[in-house]
Structure 1
Amino acid sequence: MTRPLPPREGRDALTPRPLSVQRAVNPHAPGSAHLKLGRTEILATVSVEDKPAPHMRGKKEGWLTAEYAMLPRATTDRQARERNLQNGRRHEIQRLLGRALRASIDLRHFRNQTLYVDCDVLVADGGTRVASILAGYAALHDLADRLIHAGKLTEWPLTHVVGAVSVGLVGDELRVDLDYAEDKVARADLNVVATDAGLLIEVQGGAEEGPITHAEYVRLLTVGVEATGGLLRELNRQL
């Protein structure tokens, strides 16, 4: 018996969920953003520490690292706070965020400094890691804009506009930006991290219910890059 596919709630298969972003939402952080992607909500903040990361001492550039956490009631059931515990999923997402956001910035502008990008999931409905990349980039944009206007930087430090989207095969249908209900039943899914110019940074994911064809994978990747570009155009419009 074929199981029914989750509905798309007013959008077609290739349309991402509505995106909205607000900058400068945290008065204490030099860069911050609150981003919504459908019902998923992320709060991202950037902190700048005037201290190099140990492995960057004596180098010409600074370092950027990212942390990710989910609030206890971000999901339908309460999750215990991780506090100092580090589970595998969180560690994997943090490494992805760090790699993606480092690709967006020229860290030579932050020599002997460390940038910390904290992404906290306020509400989770699928796509939290891709939404965190979008929110993290928006928070870095906020930081860069403030530093330029304060005269602390004379050159724009962001070299690439970076974002991400999830794509998946739900039944035989290719869908963009999966919510939780779709992600649960997808037979294959990818998280595509790319620039607004279509340059790839990273791809994560794979098949869930048996192998997929080369053509299906290429189609997922192609649509993911196109959808990321669309999300970034909307993000830039709001920034």
Structure 2
Amino acid sequence: MTRPPKAIRERAAAPGAPAFTRPDGRRPDQLRPLRFERHVIPHAEGSTLVHMGRTRVLVTATVEDKVPAWLRGRQQGWVTAEYAMLPRATAQRTPRTSQTGGRAQEIQRLIGRSLRTVTDLTAFGERTVILDCDVLEADGGTRTAAVNGALVALHDAFVTLSNRGQLRHAPLRDAVAAVSVGIVEGVPCLDLCYAEDAGAHVDMNVVMTGDGRFVELQGTAEGAAFDDAELRALLTLARRGIRRIRDAHRRLLGDSGLLPPPAAR
């Protein structure tokens, strides 16, 4: 039988340790309620408003009939992303700025990489799909919510291109999904809200393809390092959560024929 991670053993052994409860009453392995509203911006080729608990991110997909200069003449397209937060997406107003900050740059690169991983860039000619991810309300997990919403918006943009006769072949090779995990009060938890994220001694973002391969792992300890057993516990939680998000994607998008069936593993 696998031993529980060290942090859990120590917490359980602490005299008079109170029962662990999450701010919203969820189990440690439970996702926040997940919902997608599609086609919310009629001018965009694809759009969705993704809800993960109280976190809400609006994602629009815009198709431009051009590619970056370094891709011209190569008969392939490009997928990129931009990320921003509305000033009152957070409890305290975040001032607007004319320049993209370091955090936003990191997040939008993560989103772009994640979607390119599952996209056949030769399928839609020399076109660029820009995924604009705007956080309307932030309660933790904004980057992971953005990835999850971006897949829906990108898919719907490809439906638009298909209807225009502008796809050479199916552009999506697989689904992609993301979730946060962390260790809160010694307990590995799935899909952290802001209060948990702010107090977690380990915080990790995990992006995986629909067939269970990793796209990105971003993990950081704060105040106390974590061991192999704790890392394995977090990755196990992340896999479970991503499977549930993947299943939600397939229920939502499966009828279009553009999202391939899950690969057997």
1:164 equivalent in alignment to 2:164: no
Equivalent of 1:206 in 206, 220, 235: 220
Partner of 1:50: 65
Partner of 1:22: 37
Q: Could you list the runs of 5+ residues in structure 2 that have no partner in the other structure? A: 1-16, 254-265
Alpha-carbon distance between aligned partners in 2 of 1:67 and 1:4, rounded to the nearest angstrom: 41
1:39 equivalent in alignment to 2:54: yes
Partner of 1:137: 151
Instruction: Find the structure with the greater CA-based Rg.
Output: 2
Alpha-carbon distance between aligned partners in 2 of 1:193 and 1:104, rounded to the nearest angstrom: 12
Q: Letter of the aligned partner of 1:127 in structure 2?
A: G
Contact 2:65 2:127 (C-alpha < 8 Å) held by counterparts: yes
Alpha-carbon distance between aligned partners in 2 of 1:53 and 1:154, rounded to the nearest angstrom: 20
Tell me how far 1:5 sits from its aligned partner: 6.2
Equivalent of 1:96 in 95, 110, 118: 110
Contact 2:63 2:157 (C-alpha < 8 Å) held by counterparts: no
Could you list the per-position Cα deviations for residues 125-148 of structure 1 after superposition, in whole angstroms to 9, with x for gaps in the alignment? 000000000011110111122332
Partner of 1:78: 93
Contact 2:125 2:168 (C-alpha < 8 Å) held by counterparts: no
Alpha-carbon distance between aligned partners in 1 of 2:101 and 2:143, rounded to the nearest angstrom: 15
Mapping of 1:110-129 within 5 angstroms?
Answer: 110-129=124-143
Could you list the per-position Cα deviations for residues 128-182 of structure 1 after superposition, in whole angstroms to 9, with x for gaps in the alignment? 0000000111101111223323433363211110010000000111100000000
Alpha-carbon distance between aligned partners in 2 of 1:6 and 1:96, rounded to the nearest angstrom: 31
1:228 equivalent in alignment to 2:247: no
Alpha-carbon distance between aligned partners in 2 of 1:66 and 1:118, rounded to the nearest angstrom: 6
Contact 1:100 1:133 (C-alpha < 8 Å) held by counterparts: yes
TM-score, scaled relative to structure 2: 0.84
Partner of 2:231: 217
- In the alignment of these two chains, the number of paired residues is 238
What is the root-mean-square deviation of aligned Cα atoms in Å?
1.9
Identify if the C-alpha distance between structure 1 residues 127 and 161 changes in structure 2 by more than 3 Å, giving closer, same or farther: same
Q: Could you list the runs of 5+ residues in structure 1 that have no partner in the other structure? A: none
Could you list the per-position Cα deviations for residues 26-50 of structure 1 after superposition, in whole angstroms to 9, with x for gaps in the alignment? 1100111111000000100111111
Alpha-carbon distance between aligned partners in 1 of 2:217 and 2:109, rounded to the nearest angstrom: 13
Contact 1:63 1:110 (C-alpha < 8 Å) held by counterparts: no
Report percent identity of matched pairs.
45
Alpha-carbon distance between aligned partners in 1 of 2:118 and 2:78, rounded to the nearest angstrom: 12
Identify if the C-alpha distance between structure 1 residues 72 and 224 changes in structure 2 by more than 3 Å, giving closer, same or farther: same
Q: Letter of the aligned partner of 1:197 in structure 2?
A: D
Alpha-carbon distance between aligned partners in 2 of 1:4 and 1:90, rounded to the nearest angstrom: 37
Mapping of 1:168-183 within 5 angstroms?
Answer: 168-183=182-197
Q: Which moved more, 1:124-133 or 1:214-223?
A: 214-223
